[in-house]
Amino acid sequence: MLWTIIGAAAATLTMFSFVPQIFRSLRTRSVKDVSPVTLFQLSTGVFLWMIYGISQKDPIIIVANAITLITLSVLIFLYFRYGRLVK
């Protein structure tokens, strides 16, 4: 039970770790401090973790990484949208 709580807490922190960056990018309409290499590398890792969770039938790993991948996808979208505005 304790390990499930620790896993759920870690998953929650990970899932929403990019939300502040998303809000900042929306507010400033700038992604100049965002590294595209980091975004794509982390997205690939998160996707692989999700596949691993599916293979292990672990709902915490699956859901946490799916939501993290969604938030990363939003940030990648903003990177391409606002990144073109930088001169």
Report the CATH number at residue 60: 1.20.1280.290
- Per-residue pLDDT at 33: 86
Q: Residue 48 sits in which domain range?
A: 2-83
**C-alpha of 82 from chain center:** 18
Q: Could you list the pLDDT tens digit for every one of the 87 residues in the chain?
A: 999 899 889 989 989 999 999 999 999 999 988 898 999 999 999 999 999 999 999 998 999 999 999 999 999 999 999 986 555
Provide the number of structural domains found in the chain.
Answer: 1
